[in-house]
Chains A and B, each alone.
Chain A
Amino acid sequence: MNVSAPLIDQLIDKTDTFERVRDEIAAILLAETTNQKALAMAAGKPANEWALNIYTERSDPWNEYLDLPETLENPDEAPRVVNVWFNGLTFDMTGSNVVESQKATAIYHVDCYAYAASADATLGHVPGDQAANMRAHRTVRLVRNILMAATYTYLGMRGVVVRRWINAIDAFQPSANDRLAQSIGAARISLQVEFSEFSPQVTGVPLELISTSVKRNGHTGQIYFTANYPH
């Protein structure tokens, strides 16, 4: 087997744009929901309704909520969970060049989960499944408004991100046979982001220095090209 000599002479130690965009989505949600809580408190509204627990690329962040949602024995309000994860991307050859930058369209899933318990009410009760779905929808509302805010047209990465767009919002509910003591509502926001990915470039190699001069014969007009170089 022939083994090629390596041609990339630099350590690939950068973060790709798709990773930076994923982290930026989560950072934006965290910063804005923190601010929303402060604004809610200033407005005299319950700040917890604007609180989200935000994760990236997690498959099992739920175990700490095993004893939730809130009940008389456990009065803390059940948190709403948002998980941001990269679903995949495609490259568009027409907007790219084969040497340096490739135009990419990525899909990020922003999954929103909410727990709720059934609760007694003055007249009747508040069903847990309904409450969980209402909370999940409220979470979607908050996330959608943040991500589609005019201030985040480029997700804070102008020059790299071309545009972002919410393709779809899909709501989920566990099947009847899978119902838990905690009612769960879930919805997925599919966020499409277009940006450029960049690849390692050829680094110039210094050559031997040479000096040249161009001369013209004053009588005949003939041009001479002379060069000095080590040999």
Chain B
Amino acid sequence: MSLLDLAKADHASIVSDTVSGFSQLLTLINPQGLSVVVAGLAADVGQTVDPDTGVMIVGRRVTVSLLTGPLRTSGIGEPRGIADAGSKPWVVRFADAHGNEHAFKVIQAMPDYVLGRVDCLLEAYRG
């Protein structure tokens, strides 16, 4: 087994281990309304940004990391940011530390085709 193969295996275990790792179950919904429950890493943390006014604004930065293999197997496809207001966006739902589920829209998807992972930047979504 090459180092790359070893890294892929470790990486898949880290991203998908919901039993003894940091992974959790997420619901991914594509623009056609098809949904699947997949394992992934989620982060929802506070962050400040400067919108160029010189004053920092407090907000939240929410991301998820998903393995592309299970997504392809399920047939749902890989998430993308959908800019077209006439289309439905990719939506991710997952629970916070208190068990409250929140919905987010995928605004950016950045894949890693070597390790087989896609990192998604999310935005609050009402719907």
* Partner-B contacts on A (CB < 8 A): 59-60, 62-63, 65-67, 69-73, 83, 111, 113, 117-121, 123-130, 172-174, 176, 178-184, 186, 188
B124 x A179 contact (CB < 8 A):
no
* Partner-A contacts on B (CB < 8 A): 44, 46-47, 49-53, 55-62, 82-89, 100-105, 107-108, 121-127
Count of chain A to chain B residue pairs whose CB atoms are closer than 8 Å in the complex: 124
B46 x A118 contact (CB < 8 A):
no
Known A128-B124, A188-B53; judge A181-B61 contact (CB<8 A). Answer: yes
B123 x A181 contact (CB < 8 A):
yes
Chain A residues within 8 Å of B101, by CB: 73
Known A113-B51, A130-B85, A184-B51; judge A73-B125 contact (CB<8 A). Answer: no
Partner of B62, one of A83, A111, A181: A181
Known A128-B105, A179-B121, A181-B62; judge A174-B50 contact (CB<8 A). Answer: yes
Known A117-B126, A118-B125, A128-B105; judge A123-B86 contact (CB<8 A). Answer: yes
> What is the bound-complex CA distance between A148 and B80, given in angstroms?
44
A70 x B85 contact (CB < 8 A):
no
> What is the bound-complex CA distance between A73 and B87, given in angstroms?
23
The 8 A-B residue pairs with the shortest CB-CB distance in the complex, in nearest-first order: A120-B127, A180-B59, A117-B124, A178-B49, A172-B52, A186-B51, A119-B126, A124-B86
B60 x A120 contact (CB < 8 A):
no
B53 x A186 contact (CB < 8 A):
yes
Chain A residues within 8 Å of B122, by CB: 181
Least Cβ–Cβ distance between A69 and chain B, in angstroms: 6
> What is the bound-complex CA distance between A130 and B124, given in angstroms?
13
A71 x B59 contact (CB < 8 A):
no
